[in-house]
Amino acid sequence: MVISFVTAMLIGISAWGLSDNIGSLISKAWIWDWGKATFTTISTVLGGLIIIAIGLILYKHIVMALSAPFMSPVSEKIEQHFNPQAVHSHRDTNNAQQLWRGIKINVRNLTMELLLTVPILLIGFIPVVGIFSTVLLYAVQAYYAGFGNMDYTLERHYNYSESISFVKQNRGLAIGNGLVFILFLFIPIIGIILVLPLSVTAASKVTLEKLQQHKTL
């Protein structure tokens, strides 16, 4: 919760401090004197929105990566609760290994998300077709948020490449979890604080159910 709150605060401060700089760069596109002040104001607001949009993408990956040593044990407790009699054959990992895996997974997801986000944003400028870009962008964000939440459970059962394959086969679960994750971020303060533990709890439950169906446990 502390990691989530501090990360959100840093993104907010960055948006406040850099919006003027980005706004001034955007305003240079307006070469005419008439309406210059209005366009500059709009550019400043747009600059802040750009920082926040980039921050939201970075936020979930930063928080998920740094929280791996804390959320993985939470996920394991949930698994023990749902399967108290099961014989677990978990991968034996320490905090450093969990942190490294969290960083590795989230850097990979961040790269893939940015590669998909840029063309989707460009599509948004196309009339009519651009309407669907918002929905597609939201789905991409949700998928990678759900991916990170599910990996706290998958970390104990699958290696890096196997986890990626598992999530690809269960995209619906990842997107469903990620949609709620992103919606929670719009709840002031409380949403930022509670989003990770609640979404990881939900992701752990559905991932365990799917693992049981695959007879992995």
Phi and psi, residue 74, nearest 5°: -60, -45
Range of the domain at 124: 2-213
Q: Which of 18-22, 78-82, 207-211 has the lowest mean pLDDT?
A: 18-22
- CA nearest 7: which of 75, 49, 61? 61
The pTM of the full predicted model, rounded to 2 decimals, is 0.79
- Are the CB atoms for 140 and 116 separated by under 8 Å? yes
Q: How confident is the model at residue 86 (pLDDT cuts 50, 70, 90)?
A: low
The CA distance from 106 to 166, in Å, is 16
Question: CA torsion 169→173→179→182, rounded to 10°?
Answer: -80
pLDDT of residue 88: 57
Domain count along the chain: 1
pLDDT in tens, 163-202: 999 999 999 999 999 999 989 888 888 888 888 889 999 9
